[in-house]
């Protein structure tokens, strides 16, 4: 069975806490984002390749991604958002190239990738984007960019929006809701 494409516009997470995972995108100073990215990334090795989880490739139900597929997605979110962040910091009000997340999952055969490699790639991608956020200072947080569907972001709202994604997917895999920071 295939996964139903996620067509929801998730920008509402900037307005209110997520009722599913419990994460509140307004509940932390934006300067905390690099550390939060690294903390999230540190949880994935256990999920993807830990001795307690031989079922990384197993979908818990037919319409829901396996931990491995979620890990691939989070890795690619970090990679893709790092490119977008670089655009926002180097160009004035860029338009982000479109990214079809569900098509990527199918084309790149997420479910057939090697969990150990995905673990390493996710960590590298997290380090890269955390490092770029670490470099953001002062007025750079208010630089702007737009998604192809018209959603507009500042670097700050982009950071808060991004942060929900890996947190929510860790919840998808572990069932543990985000705790208040
Ligand atoms: Zn959520």
Q: State pLDDT tens for residues 138-150.
A: 999 999 999 988 9
Lowest mean pLDDT among 10-19, 82-91, 138-147, 172-181: 172-181
Question: Ion ligand 1 — residues with CB under 5 Å?
Answer: 18, 20-21, 168
Q: How far is the CA of 172 from the centre of ligand 1 (A)?
A: 9
| Cα torsion 163, 168, 169, 175: sign | positive
Q: How far is the CA of 71 from the centre of ligand 1 (A)?
A: 16
- As a whole number of Å, the CA-based R_g of the chain is 16
Q: How far is the CA of 91 from the centre of ligand 1 (A)?
A: 30
| Residue 104 pLDDT greater than 50, yes or no | yes
Tokens of 33: 């984002």
Q: How far is the CA of 61 from the centre of ligand 1 (A)?
A: 19
**Average pLDDT of 79-95?**
98
Q: How far is the CA of 4 from the centre of ligand 1 (A)?
A: 18
What is the enclosing helix (H) or strand (E) of 79?
Answer: helix 67-90
Q: How far is the CA of 12 from the centre of ligand 1 (A)?
A: 10
- When the pLDDT of each residue in the chain is averaged and rounded to a whole number, the result is 92
pLDDT at site 114: 92
pTM, two decimal places: 0.92
Residue of 124, 125, 127, 114 lying closest to 49 (CA atoms): 114
Q: How far is the CA of 56 from the centre of ligand 1 (A)?
A: 21
Count Cα atoms within 13 angstroms, Cβ side, for 4.
6
């Amino acid at each position: 069975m295939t996964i139903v494409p996620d067509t929801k516009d998730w920008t509402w997470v900037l307005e209110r806490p997520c009722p599913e995972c419990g994460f509140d995108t307004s509940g932390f100073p934006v300067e905390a984002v690099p550390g939060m990215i690294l903390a999230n990334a540190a949880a994935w090795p256990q999920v993807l390749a830990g001795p307690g989880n031989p079922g990384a490739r197993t979908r818990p139900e037919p319409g829901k991604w396996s931990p491995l597929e979620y890990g691939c997605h989070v890795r690619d979110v970090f990679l893709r958002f790092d490119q977008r962040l670089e655009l926002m910091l180097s160009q004035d009000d860029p338009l982000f190239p479109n990214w079809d997340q569900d098509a990527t999952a199918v084309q790149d055969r997420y479910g057939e990738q090697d969990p150990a490699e995905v673990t390493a790639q996710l960590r590298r991608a997290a380090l890269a984007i955390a490092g770029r956020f670490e470099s953001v200072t002062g007025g750079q947080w208010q630089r702007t960019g737009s998604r192809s569907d018209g959603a507009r972001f500042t670097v700050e709202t982009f950071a808060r929006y991004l942060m929900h994604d890996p947190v929510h997917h860790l919840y998808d895999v572990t069932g543990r809701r985000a705790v208040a920071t």
